[in-house]
Amino acid sequence: MASPHTDIQSMIHELNQYILPGTQMDCFDAYREEKYKEAIKTIPEATLTWFLDMLNRYRGPEDKKKCLLEVFDPSMYTENHPAWARPPGTVIELPALTSEVVALAEKESELAEVARDEILQFRIHANTYDDEELMQLSEIAKAGLADQKTVFQAREEIIGYVALNASAELEDLWVADATEWLEAPIRRIEFPDMVLRRRDQMLHGQLVPALKEQDLVCYTDNEVRSFACDMRSLFLYDRSRHLAICTGCQKRLEAWTKIISDFDSKMGTKNGCADA
């Protein structure tokens, strides 16, 4: 039987899952999404669709992606990364970018050979981009990859960067043998507190309908006791979102749930009634 603490935490998690990052990796993904939105805010939707179509053609029919964030995803092969189980945070360590790994590879290695072929292939697609469009694509790539360091000096640098970090062929090499990625220097990425940022956005209605003034008011003792007796009633309550932003009410509800649970466990029953 689940403990009162587990019940409360599950309830809070369910209320938060659509509005607040729940793990360190969730926070990182929320940061990536925010940077991506910044990168595309002035780019027409038709151009973004074209970018995705061209990148999918480059990747091949077996490796199409549904969005640009999926094309430039630095965590696609890190399903066992401890950040998936860690609490929300503001820093994460990830394997080096493919472009960084290729730069360290020996010139005659299989990795370097595939990389050269991929750059040649992508250059054909890049010939349809003018300099401004290619720069836009590079900023999208950097945002998706959470690349906080790379600065481009020439068109050819962008072509190589996008080609290597969007390559399905190089992804396949990673899956087959990740040694070179794991041996390359780890990337340490710092980012803002996305939980606080999401809470602020939620309060101002930027993620979901804005909280009303009444949503910010703590629950009465009677309300807390009612929720503790029947946790399902919280979801039917018109101010259920308050629990997701108020640690005080979370603790009160947890305490009352424990009191009721302890009382029930100590009360004997006789013919289905409390045995006084």
Provide the domain limits for residue 181.
23-192
Q: Is the pLDDT of residue 274 over 60?
A: no
Classify residue 152 as exposed, middle or buried by CB count within 10 Å of its CB (0-12, 13-18, 19+).
Answer: middle
- Tens-place pLDDT, residues 218-231: 899 988 888 888 77
Give yes or no: residues 11 and 37 share one domain. no
- Tens-place pLDDT, residues 17-35: 444 567 888 889 989 999 9
Give yes or no: residues 257 and 132 share one domain. no
- What is the average pLDDT value for the chain, to the nearest integer? 85
Give yes or no: residues 116 and 137 share one domain. yes
Give yes or no: residues 123 and 231 share one domain. no
Spatial CA neighbour of 137 closest among 160, 117, 171: 160
Q: Most confidently modeled of 47-51, 81-85, 219-223?
A: 47-51
The residue that leads in pLDDT, 140 or 197, is 140
Interval 40-69 mean pLDDT: 95
Helices (H), strands (E): how many in the chain?
A: 15, 4
Last residue of a domain, one of 133, 160, 192: 192
Q: How far apart are CA 161 and CA 16, in angstroms?
A: 37
Strands (E), the chain: 91-94, 187-190, 269-270, 273-274
Give yes or no: residues 120 and 250 share one domain. no
Q: How far apart are CA 58 and CA 64, in angstroms?
A: 9
The residue that leads in pLDDT, 76 or 10, is 76
Q: Is the pLDDT of residue 204 over 80?
A: no
Give yes or no: residues 178 and 212 share one domain. no
In a domain, 179, yes or no: yes
Sign of torsion over alpha carbons 52, 55, 57, 61: negative
Percent residues over pLDDT 90 in the chain: 53
Cβ proximity of 181 and 101 under 8 Å: yes
Q: Is the pLDDT of residue 205 over 60?
A: no
Coil, strand or helix: which one is 188?
strand
pLDDT at 230: 78
The neighbour count for residue 267, using CB atoms within 10 Å, is 11
pLDDT at 245: 73
Give yes or no: residues 65 and 184 share one domain. yes
Q: Most confidently modeled of 14-23, 41-50, 202-211?
A: 41-50
Structure-token pair, residue 127: 């010939």
Q: Is the pLDDT of residue 210 over 50?
A: yes
Q: Is the pLDDT of residue 212 over 80?
A: no
In a domain, 98, yes or no: yes
Q: Is the pLDDT of residue 243 over 70?
A: yes
pLDDT at 276: 43
In a domain, 197, yes or no: no
Give yes or no: residues 111 and 217 share one domain. no
Last residue of a domain, one of 192, 221, 236: 192
Q: Is the pLDDT of residue 99 over 80?
A: yes
Give yes or no: residues 228 and 188 share one domain. no
Give yes or no: residues 220 and 147 share one domain. no
Give yes or no: residues 57 and 88 share one domain. yes
In a domain, 269, yes or no: no
Directed axis angle between helix 24-40 and helix 194-203, to 10°? 60
- Tens-place pLDDT, residues 126-168: 998 899 999 999 999 999 999 999 999 999 999 999 999 999 9
In a domain, 271, yes or no: no
In a domain, 249, yes or no: yes
Q: Is the pLDDT of residue 13 over 70?
A: no
In a domain, 276, yes or no: no
Q: Is the pLDDT of residue 2 over 50?
A: no
Give yes or no: residues 99 and 130 share one domain. yes
pLDDT at 132: 94
Last residue of a domain, one of 192, 217, 236: 192
Domain count, the chain: 2
pLDDT at 265: 73
